[in-house]
Amino acid sequence: MNAEADGWNRRRFLTLCAQAGVGSTLLPGALYTLATQAQEKSQSATLPITPELIDEAAAVAGVKLTEAQRKMMIEGVEGQRESYQAIRALKMPNSVAPAFVFDPLAAGAVLETGIEQPRWSKVEVSAVPSNLEDLAFTTVGELAALVKARKITAMQLTEMYLARLKRNDATLHFVITLTEERARAQARAADAEIAAGLYRGPLHGIPWGAKDLLAVKGYPTTWGAGGFEKQVIDADATVVERLDAAGAILVAKLTLGALAMGDHWFGGQTRNPWNPRQGSSGSSAGPASAVAAGCVGFAIGSETLGSISSPSTRCGDTGLRPTFGFVPRTGAMALSWTMDKLGPICRSVEDCAMVMQSIFGPDGMDLTVKPAAFNWDADYDWKRLRVGYFKSDFNSIPPFHAREAKPGETAEQKKAREARNAQAAAGHARRVYDQQYDRAALSALRKMGVALIPVEMPKLPYGAMTPLLTAEAAAAFDELTMSGRDSLLTEQGPADWPNDFRVARLYPAVEYIQANRARTLAIAEWARMFEEVDVIVTPTYGEQLVATNLTGHPALILPNGLRGADAPTPPQTDDGNDDNIGGPGTPVSLTMLAAPYQDAKLLAFGRAYQDATGYHKLHPKLG
Burial pattern 261-271, b for ≥16 Cβ within 10 A else e, equals bbbbbbbebbb
Query: 593 and 569 in contact (C-beta within 8 Å)?
Result: no
Alpha-carbon torsion (587, 436, 433, 579), positive or negative: negative
Going from the C-alpha of 162 to that of each of 165, 240, 327, the distances in angstroms are 5, 18, 27
- The single-letter code of the amino acid at 172 is L
Query: Residue 389: enclosing H or E segment and its boundaries?
Result: strand 387-390
Query: 286 and 270 in contact (C-beta within 8 Å)?
Result: yes
In the DSSP assignment, the letter for residue 488 is: G
Whole-number Å distance between alpha carbons of 191 and 205:
7
- The single-letter code of the amino acid at 550 is L
The region that residue 90 occupies, defined by phi over 0 for left and psi between -120 and 50 for alpha, beta otherwise, is: alpha
Whole-number Å distance between alpha carbons of 199 and 617:
27
Query: 296 and 288 in contact (C-beta within 8 Å)?
Result: no
Active site includes 283? Answer: yes
Whole-number Å distance between alpha carbons of 188 and 190:
5
Q: Choose among 253, 213, 221: nearest CA to 342.
A: 213
- The single-letter code of the amino acid at 448 is M
Q: What angle is formed at CA 352 by the lines to CA 180 and CA 148, rounded to 5 degrees?
A: 60
One-character DSSP codes across 273-297: TTEEEEE--SSSHHHHHHHHTTSSS
Query: 141 and 220 in contact (C-beta within 8 Å)?
Result: no
One-character DSSP codes across 161-202: HHHHHHHHHHHH--EEEE-HHHHHHHHHHHHHHHHTT----T
Q: Choose among 46, 43, 49, 40: nearest CA to 85.
A: 46
Active site includes 83? Answer: no
One-character DSSP codes across 24-63: T--HHHHHHHHHHHHHHHHT-SSPPP-HHHHHHHHHHHT-
Q: Single out the catalytic residue among 280, 281, 283, 336.
A: 283
Q: Single out the catalytic residue among 211, 253, 341, 601.
A: 211
Q: Single out the catalytic residue among 302, 307, 309, 358.
A: 307
Whole-number Å distance between alpha carbons of 456 and 43:
56
Task: Tell the burial category of 114 from Cβ atoms under 10 Å away from its Cβ (0-12, 13-18, 19+).
Answer: exposed
Active site includes 307? Answer: yes
CB atoms within 10 A of CB 394: 17
Task: List the catalytic residues.
Answer: 211, 283, 307
